[in-house]
A and B are shown apart, each in its own frame.
Chain A
Amino acid sequence: MSFPIVLQVNHSEKNRVTKDISDIITVTGVLKDKTSIIDPVIIIACDLASVKNCNYMTISNFGRKYFVNNIASVRRGLVEFTCHVDVLSTYASEIKSNKAIIKRQENVWNLYLNDGTFKVYQNPMVLTKAFPSGFTTQEFVLAVAGS
């Protein structure tokens, strides 16, 4: 039974959970040999020039999305794609449903927690803050025996 493979371009960071993807071409075919659904190596009949920028693909029959790690030209009209599953995008909704203890966050943070990633310069600021008042006078004290 044939199934579609969507060859795509990923414009987002690889560690972004929900990616910005644009399609290049959708090809349909059947598997002629066994392949891993985690790290598939798939040979697709297509023009190399049209897929040379492909860095992502979706194989819905495998239920997964993939990074394209390598594109090799087998021969004219035949291109081999070496892929690895993008676990973040594939399981994005399930991941988001989980709770976690967050260690670092872009928007929700507490700066009173110690952070070893902050850098400081070698020349610190030295400030003086004077109190409002001090000793402003001098007077004599004479101690004499008797009353």
Chain B
Amino acid sequence: MELVKVTNIGLKMSDDTVIPVIRGVIRDYATNISQVDANSLMYEIYTRSMGMASTCSYYTSDRNAFVFNGAVSGTVTHGDNTGFECQRTMWGSGTRWQQCDFTGIWYLGTKVAAAPVFTGYSTYEYCYAVILTDENYNLIYSTGVNKIVRGIQIRSSENLGITESNDMCIGSISQSGEYRDIQPDWILTTGPNIFNYITQEIDPTLTDPYNPGGNTGDDETEGQGGTGDFDGTSDPVDFPNLPNLSAVDTGFITLFNPSASQLKSLANYMWSGLFDLDTFKKIFADPMDCILGLSIVPVNVPSGSSDTVKVGNISTGVSMTKAASQYVSVDCGTLNVNEFWGAYLDYSPYTKAEIYLPYVGTHPLDIDDIMNKPVHVKYHIDILSGACIAFVKCGDSVLYSFIGQCSSSIPITGNDWTNVINGVINIAGAVGSMVMTGGMSAPMAIGQIASTAVNSSKPSVEKSGSLSGTGGMLGVQTPYMILTRPRQALPAQQNVYTGYPSFITRTLSSVSGYTEVDRIHLENVPGTESELSEIELLLKTGVIF
């Protein structure tokens, strides 16, 4: 039996909700089937009993019995992928544990083919409670279970401290000494008739969902295409960690986090007679060479120990708090961008999104990246250089990274002053340019513009230039999202007059109301050729069932 990974399967409950299930573990409980709790849901399972006779009927909460194969006792079926295999009858008393992996679609009153699992037990048990877990043993659903112990392979003689009648071990226990773990990659193959009750989308679990395919290639015996792996999994990309190495660890630089009064004290010292220039000149030419920079940063500088500031190894007597780290992280929190309509209008190109990031500016985002996802913004900042990077995490992955400059330099020399002013001038030159993109090339028909045309015809206007340094400090300090949504004109009961987009295959007797057909192969209609053509034309232009 080939084991292949199955996805998009579910367990259909009595209220028609569907729970995605990867595997389940059945707890067997030695009790008479008629004593089953009427409120518990029981599901038939696939078991291959390795040559042992077994029977029973399992009941759902509404007491609809699934009598497998009509057998009452002593019937075992092996390797039958078209139906349920045997269940187990009660034998003796006491509690027995049985591990079963199963998968497939369970629909009340309908059996769906799924492959059996193996067991190595020599006892007979009823199924009483169901525990369904994902492949990481996280509980999805359970009934009749109080306590769960996970991932253990034991023998029945081992004491797990399970004492309550409804306790459950997700693992494998055997009376006979045979046991197997639930392996993470054990997911059963399913038969060819699996139908995904959750959606009517193509089922990627099928070996070839396009089968039977047509012949479009050179090989007349096989169809072409449709052989992708249908792997829709995604790896999360989290925020990176701050760098491990810091300038403050080198000893060549000391970063202080002074208060305003402490800075004043230092300035007073530097310009006072207390500063021994003669001693300093033996080592340096200009004392200001030792002051590498003074800036304002918009973060709480991580505090280290307190120390006396030394300029050129000369103690100034001014005490300041050292910065404990060169790098700081600022978490701006998460914003949930939710659909407004729950329709295609919520997505590109109809809805647009931009994000304003302090010390970065305004940037467009792809609305498809953020819709229905939490959007999390976090900054990593280097307080030494003032460089910052803003991460935008959409869902579970960082999709956008924008670089900015968040420190405002305070000039302490004439050169510093010139550099600061020049920097501001350069930034100002980039601000204020209105960039217009987007098509306004062709005149638009008045009054008959579909939604697709409206947004694409509007110009895109840049809402900010680079907001770095002092400019950023003067700007808005909280990130925000700018969403541009179309304003829909929806007449009452539009679905009655025009229908809404559908694109499903249905028997026409199952639909009611206004219907437009995309494709149909008319069969068993005893009309003339012109009548058939008229029928097809009418169906495609819209009829009312």
Chain A residues proximal to chain B, CB less than 8 Å: 12-13, 15-18, 38, 85, 87-88, 90-91, 94-147
Contacts and interface: CB of A to CB of B under 8 A. Distances in A.
Contacts of A103: 499, 501-503, 516-518, 540
A134 B357 CA distance: 9
The SS class assigned to the A binding surface is: loop
B484 A124 contact: yes
Contact of B514 (A105, A117, A118, A119): A105
A65 to B, nearest CB: 12
A90 B38 CA distance: 51
Nearest to B407: A141
Given A127-B482, A142-B320, A144-B290, 15 more contacts: A87-B527, A99-B520, A100-B506, A100-B508, A100-B539, A103-B502, A106-B513, A114-B452, A123-B487, A131-B333, A142-B257, A142-B309, A143-B256, A143-B291, A145-B254
Given A126-B482, A134-B479, A147 B252 contact: yes
Nearest to B284: A145
A132 B484 CA distance: 20
B82 to A, nearest CB: 25
Contact of A87 (B251, B454, B476, B538): B538
Contact of A97 (B266, B406, B490, B509): B509
19 contacts: A17-B544, A94-B524, A95-B508, A96-B545, A100-B506, A102-B511, A102-B516, A105-B500, A106-B499, A111-B342, A113-B344, A116-B452, A120-B487, A134-B332, A138-B297, A139-B301, A141-B296, A142-B263, A143-B291
Interface residues of B, number: 120
A140 B259 contact: yes
Contacts of A127: 482-485
B488 to A, nearest CB: 5
Q: What 3 A-B pairs come out closest when comparing CB atoms?
A: A106-B513, A134-B478, A132-B333
A16 B513 CA distance: 9
Interface stretch (B40-48, B108-116, B529-537): B529-537
Most A Cβ at <10 Å: residue of B291, B358, B377, B535: B535
B336 to A, nearest CB: 9
Most B Cβ at <10 Å: residue of A113, A130, A140, A143: A143
Given A105-B499, A144-B310, A135 B330 contact: yes
A131 B480 contact: yes
B489 interface: yes
Most A Cβ at <10 Å: residue of B341, B487, B526: B487
Contacts of B501: 103-104, 109-111, 113-115
Nearest to A106: B513
Interface in B206-235: none
A122 B500 CA distance: 22
Contacts of A131: 332-335, 377, 478-481
